[in-house]
Structure 1
Amino acid sequence: MVKIAHFGSWESPLSAEAVAAAGGEPRWIGAHRGRVWWAESRPGEGGRLALVREGPDGPVEVLAAPWNVRNRVHEYGGRPWVVIDTPGGTPGGEVLVFTHWADQRLYRLAVDGPDGPGEPTPLTAEPDREHGWRYADLAPGPEGTVLCVRETVTGDGPTDISRDLVTVDVTSGAVTVLGGGGHHFLACPRLSPDGARLAWIGWDHPAMPWDGTELCVAPLTDLDSYAVLAGGERQSVCQVSWESPESLLALNDPDGWWNLFRIGLDGTATNLAPCAQELGGPLWTLGQRWFTPLGGGRHAILRSGRLAVLDEHTATVTDVDTDLSWWSADLVVVDPDGPVLAAGAATPTRDVTVNRVDLATGATTRVSAEPVAPADPAYLPEPTLRRFAGQDGRSVPAWVYPPRNPDYAAPEGTAPPYLVYVHGGPTGQVRPTLNLDTAFFTSRGFGVVAVDYGGSAGYGRAFRESLNERWGVVDVQDCASVATALAREGSAEGTRLAIRGGSAGGWTSAASMTMVDTYRCGTIMYPILDMLAFVGETHDFESRYLDSLVGTLPEHEARYVERSPINRIDQLAGPVLLLQGLEDQVCTPAQANRFVASLDGSGVPHAYLTFAGEQHGFRKAETVRAALEAELSFYGQVFGFAPPGVPVLDLRS
């Protein structure tokens, strides 16, 4: 029998504990000798990344605790493992090389030794300072070596970082510094098929990689004599792969959209299928793969997360008809004769798993373990992509998740509270896959709307750049426009709107609470709160990000001061909840600490929870559980109901 209860107060079988335990998403998928490998997060083991491979009877864990296959390059990390053939061509021999979080060193493991895989042994030397060398974007190098990007910490400041392309001998651990052609940032080092040349992507401050990068090629023995074959100040090359010793394939956006190009060593470039669609994405982490060649003029590619095949003979991009609607930027060929690919894939009601897909038939086969279902699918939301009218005539895409719980209905004539979710980045994008954090709330009678505000990826360069110099304005306006529209049409209760987000989403949540009166309250997770302080406190990768988002300093210092929530506490529209990891090097705890210190005694109800051992984003099961329960209690107190089954959050003024 369906119970009648107010929106937001429904009981749900989807507990915070179940959500936290289910967060084992696979990432960094690859293949070697027809066998699929991947890293897999383990929230119940402190959030470590285990390494798993395909076995004859199911997944096999290659690296058990305490090994944590993760690195700190750019503080967001990069591809942390590679498998190569044993030097000398020993039949059946495979060597795994990976990065370990605890010390950031490279380790070696003989995968198929006579006595089994054994224990990993360190390859690279221990640096003089903790995490002083960091390795990422691992790829096969000249025989018996691994090619990668190495960061070196050169001082005590957060921007005291240099980078090189290096090779590491998988037997001796000897590191050969190749250089980097003078670029401060390096990505995607790839050795030509004949071993004579190296290709890579480089860029420099103040550009972010989606602003402008250069595709460089040089003799392997002399990177300083590199030639720039593509890219530039307002072109973003985000992936490169050798097609032959004389040509490369690269994703670039000279016309405002990431498309696939064939590029000759003389710099001639041919767009293989011109289209006003994104076939690439922002290079937040090193080692992503939005495309992979299939041979015969065909290429598997992602079109805004959908799996497609680009046929250069017809200059077309055609979606692959599968039962999975979203695919990760981890495309890898497992069997070229099929052809068969592997990647992470999901739907709005099915969590990400590693899947093989036969491109001839579209048939998919799950490779990783089936996620434990924390709730019946009847309790999971079914989102709808809508476009809302924003200011200045802009169209604002947003995914709308109405409440869903078969056990409950709300009193007739009432509308649900809505949570406006703001993604991070801000050069990011909403991912239309199963999000149990969202389901935790929708199954309790909340609506959730996830907004791709101006500046988001996936809609071309012009849309990304609509946020330039207007961060804290366009994002705030777009989210408020969506929330107001939902309330105006009766889908949401206009007096019970909240905003929530982490990182750049935390910034927009905090800015919104001080700039508009749309929301009753806000949840602010690991945020930016003080723009001027962020420039001096954050890590090297994003230390000049605000040059484009806000303006250069010191010319535009007034903008930094005026828009920063820490300077607008007296204008807060309602209560706030802050959640912060204490080891965050991107948005440091110092900002949240100062913000809360200013809130104390202000009369604004607030709560501040910190989590030891957490960096940028929450990985531990106990953290995820505590954060969700606190957030639910927070909304209950502000909106006037008592959520069942969660501790009461202590709000102070």
Structure 2
Amino acid sequence: MLTQRPYGSWPSTITAADVAAGTIPLGGACFYQDSAIIQQGRPSEGGRVTLVQQPLAEGGTEKELVPAPFNVRSRVHEYGGASWLLIDEANAVIFSNFADQRVYRLTLADGTTQALTPESRRDGEPLLRFADFSIGPSGSVLAIMEDLSSEPVRHIVQLPLDGSASDQVEQIRRLSAPARFVAYPRLNPTGEKICWISWEHPNMPWDGTELHLAEWADGGVLPDTVIAGGPAESIMQPEWVDADRIGFISDASGWWNPYLYHVSSGRTTRLIARDSEFAGPLWQVGTRWYLVESRHELLCTYGRGTGALARLHVDTGGLHELPLPFTGLRPLDVRDNWLLAATSSMSAGEQITLLNLENLEHRPLAHSIERLPEPSLLPAVEEFECRNAHGQPVHALLYRPRNAGYTGLDGELPPFVTMVHGGPTAQAQAKLSTAIAYYTSRGIGVVDVNYGGSTGYGRAYRNRLRGQWGVVDVDDTVAVIDALVEEGIADPNRVGIEGGSAGGWTVLSALTNTQRFTAGISRYGVSDLVGLVEDTHDFESHYMYSLVGPYPEAADLYAQRAPINHVAQIGCPVLLLQGDEDKVVPPAQSQVVADALAERGIPYAYVLFEGEQHGFRKAQNIIAALETSLAFYAQIFGFHADVPSLTLTGS
């Protein structure tokens, strides 16, 4: 017997505290002796990132390797990534520390630490930053070095492991000529050759990169040759298959597919031709989508929207999918027919999983969601596709309200929250999200939109956003909601939209250009394009060139698109959530919207979170942001919520 209660007011045991405390950000992992080393976040410690050692045998107890106050997090490109590396021969881990961005060596036998790079602060900001470590010649590692002492440049460098560069920057050897951006330094197994990728402004790495190859020499910068890529071809993740062959992923065909370069012959071979993505956008340096299992086989993740695991035979191009119950999978390390992988599913969320490649048996070693909600409270996911006004396909993930035993009132349609991912070159992926379940278990539907410009559906789909940011993303998002309303799934009078960063831009653009939505939440959202161009970090400082146009040549278009110039057209209440230390989208971006809303008498609330950067990592702030969002929807949509009420300015 179903109990009827208004949508949005269903009782749920999933609290905002559960979402925050029960969600542990997981990163990379590798095998170490009879255990795994796993990167984990600590929301209860202000978002600190640490490394833990987890025995492979069941029932083992994890051991934290990197103690506070160390924080294993790089600031290269501000998004960081690949911030640590196990050095087997030294029985040590090296890592970038967030506060000073110095590289430290942690000896695993006794837990002692030693600085490997020098102090480099100016006005409190580290000028030298390191990430994307890989094994170098004996006694050293390779890395990206970001140098912000003048005009930003990046080099591939060689770091000695003996600490000799801890106070002498001259001991850090620059291997590559200065480039705006570099990634994936890889030395071949014999130590004779090195490869890496680079790209220059105004390109982003998914627009165009170049693959470099150089002979190893013992002194000076290495003369290199570009062997693949260009301004309109995106090369990702070069890896040595053996001493003479480099595997890499290119989207020259319109899809990120795997290729092989033969150094001795200079010949390039496309290993497989498939309308599927074998890679994604390089937001964080060092991201891997495949592993070299042997000189004959690669372990790849691929798909369209979702990610499956397969073995790719290098010599024949044969692809054999491994049937596994995951909606997403990224291989992290492989050893003796065992795989460590980052996996996601609708039942267990994100995990670090140990997988036997012979019989495909698997079990989790670490969980992002420590305490899973009751299965009766979890939504199912549906792949939703519709057509926009131009007849083009638009992809989305649909989560209907679900709480076993409850249904809405007779004749009532559920309110819906439209989620818009950031990036905007990113992708909403099917996985258990307690934040989504927080809404759906209370009777609020959620649709997560992969508008044109999202990854996962080929370069042409990605390129739909070129020059059209604030247009295509808005039109596609509206098309999804129109389709849900037309099919009788969503209440047309109770439709919210929310997103962070670039998703916040789409929120504000949708509110200023359409009347489809009745409530909007922007989390650290972009509102002023000129401000973003003039006051953002180097990695994204030219991103607007492809999304909108060159500045200042296209200044009129920037003004036309910017939501801040059209706040008077907003016809619904707005909630603004912002971190006060955000370098990617500074607080001024939200403040100008709040000021304009106040001036025009539009109901709003602005919450500034102390000590947060681009994205909320502190448990208390995650809780506050989610409860405030629910209270906001409850007030606008007219249902009772089990959180403190919210007062809107101007209401």
1:231-270 to structure 2, matched below 5 A, reads: 231-265=229-263, 266-270=265-269
Cα offset, 1:297, TM superposition: 2.4
Cα offset, 1:121, TM superposition: 2.5
Q: Which residue of 2 aligns with 1:547?
A: 545
Q: Which residue of 2 aligns with 1:90?
A: none
1:131-530 to structure 2, matched below 5 A, reads: 131-155=126-150, 160-174=151-165, 175-221=171-217, 223-265=221-263, 266-295=265-294, 297-304=296-303, 305-328=307-330, 330-335=331-336, 339-368=337-366, 371-530=369-528
Does the CA contact (< 8 Å) of 1:19 and 1:374 recur in 2?
no
Query: Amino acid of the residue matched to residue 356 of structure 1?
Result: L
Cα offset, 1:223, TM superposition: 4.2
Distance 1:142 1:389, change over 3 A: same
Cα offset, 1:369, TM superposition: 5.3
1:618-637 to structure 2, matched below 5 A, reads: 618-637=616-635
**Superposed CA offset, 1:189-239 (max 9, x none):** 011111122110101000000000000011233545210111111111110
Does the CA contact (< 8 Å) of 2:24 and 2:370 recur in 1?
no
**Superposed CA offset, 1:354-390 (max 9, x none):** 1121222221122225842252111011111121111
**Superposed CA offset, 1:17-60 (max 9, x none):** 11110120311223345642221011111111110122252432
Q: Distance in 2 between matches of 1:391 and 1:173?
A: 62
Q: Secondary structure at the match of 2:54?
A: strand
Query: Amino acid of the residue matched to residue 409 of structure 2?
Result: P
Does the CA contact (< 8 Å) of 1:18 and 1:374 recur in 2?
no
Q: Secondary structure at the match of 1:65?
A: coil
Distance 1:100 1:484, change over 3 A: same
Q: Secondary structure at the match of 1:73?
A: coil
Q: Secondary structure at the match of 1:244?
A: coil
Query: Amino acid of the residue matched to residue 650 of structure 1?
Result: T
Q: Which residue of 1 aligns with 2:118?
A: 125
TM-score (norm 1): 0.94
Query: Amino acid of the residue matched to residue 161 of structure 2?
Result: V
Distance 1:620 1:440, change over 3 A: same
Cα offset, 1:652, TM superposition: 0.4
Does the CA contact (< 8 Å) of 2:241 and 2:295 recur in 1?
no
Cα offset, 1:307, TM superposition: 1.6
Cα offset, 1:244, TM superposition: 2.3
Q: Which residue of 2 aligns with 1:95?
A: 92
Does the CA contact (< 8 Å) of 1:58 and 1:367 recur in 2?
no
The aligned length equals 634
Q: Distance in 2 between matches of 1:560 and 1:38?
A: 43
Q: Distance in 2 between matches of 1:54 and 1:195?
A: 32
Does the CA contact (< 8 Å) of 1:322 and 1:364 recur in 2?
no
Query: Amino acid of the residue matched to residue 327 of structure 1?
Result: L
Q: Which residue of 2 aligns with 1:89?
A: none
Q: Secondary structure at the match of 2:512?
A: helix
Distance 1:618 1:486, change over 3 A: same
Distance 1:108 1:224, change over 3 A: closer
Q: Secondary structure at the match of 1:331?
A: strand
1:584-603 to structure 2, matched below 5 A, reads: 584-603=582-601
Q: Distance in 2 between matches of 1:472 and 1:78?
A: 28
Q: Secondary structure at the match of 1:245?
A: coil
Does the CA contact (< 8 Å) of 2:155 and 2:178 recur in 1?
no
**Superposed CA offset, 1:461-518 (max 9, x none):** 1110011000100000000000111011110000100100001101001100001111
Q: Is the aligned partner of 1:84 residue 2:87?
A: yes
Cα offset, 1:65, TM superposition: 2.3
Q: Distance in 2 between matches of 1:177 and 1:624?
A: 42
Query: Amino acid of the residue matched to residue 273 of structure 2?
Result: P
Q: Distance in 1 between matches of 2:497 and 2:367?
A: 34
Runs of 4+ aligned residues of structure 1 deviating over 6 Å after TM superposition are none
**Superposed CA offset, 1:383-439 (max 9, x none):** 111211112111011100000111421112211001110011111001211111111
Q: Which residue of 1 aligns with 2:168?
A: none
Between 616-625 and 217-226, the greater mean CA deviation after superposition:
217-226
**Superposed CA offset, 1:504-548 (max 9, x none):** 101001100001111001000111100111001010000000111
Cα offset, 1:83, TM superposition: 1.2
Distance 1:173 1:430, change over 3 A: farther
Does the CA contact (< 8 Å) of 1:178 and 1:220 recur in 2?
no
Does the CA contact (< 8 Å) of 1:43 and 1:620 recur in 2?
yes
Q: Which residue of 2 aligns with 1:8?
A: 8
Between 286-295 and 532-541, the greater mean CA deviation after superposition:
286-295
Query: Amino acid of the residue matched to residue 100 of structure 2?
Result: D
Q: 2:649 aligns with which of 643, 647, 652?
A: 652
Q: Distance in 1 between matches of 2:396 and 2:325?
A: 23
Q: Distance in 2 between matches of 1:318 and 1:53?
A: 32
Q: Secondary structure at the match of 2:235?
A: coil
Does the CA contact (< 8 Å) of 1:423 and 1:450 recur in 2?
yes
Q: Distance in 2 between matches of 1:213 and 1:470?
A: 22
Q: Which residue of 2 aligns with 1:64?
A: 67
Distance 1:296 1:71, change over 3 A: closer
Q: Distance in 1 between matches of 2:332 and 2:311?
A: 12
Cα offset, 1:340, TM superposition: 1.6
Among all aligned residue pairs of Structure 1 and Structure 2, give the percentage whose two residues are the same amino acid: 39
Q: Distance in 2 between matches of 1:380 and 1:99?
A: 37
Does the CA contact (< 8 Å) of 1:386 and 1:400 recur in 2?
yes
Does the CA contact (< 8 Å) of 2:23 and 2:370 recur in 1?
no
Q: Which runs of 5+ in 1 are unaligned?
A: 87-92
Does the CA contact (< 8 Å) of 2:350 and 2:368 recur in 1?
no
Q: Distance in 1 between matches of 2:208 and 2:595?
A: 39
Q: Which runs of 5+ in 2 are unaligned?
A: 166-170
1:13-28 to structure 2, matched below 5 A, reads: 13-28=13-28
Query: Amino acid of the residue matched to residue 260 of structure 2?
Result: R
Does the CA contact (< 8 Å) of 1:58 and 1:368 recur in 2?
no
Distance 1:650 1:220, change over 3 A: farther
Query: Amino acid of the residue matched to residue 284 of structure 2?
Result: T
Q: Secondary structure at the match of 1:309?
A: strand
TM-score (norm 2): 0.95
Q: 1:107 aligns with which of 82, 94, 104?
A: 104
Q: Distance in 2 between matches of 1:347 and 1:457?
A: 19
Q: Distance in 2 between matches of 1:390 and 1:297?
A: 44
Does the CA contact (< 8 Å) of 1:273 and 1:311 recur in 2?
no
Q: Distance in 2 between matches of 1:254 and 1:102?
A: 39
Cα offset, 1:446, TM superposition: 0.4
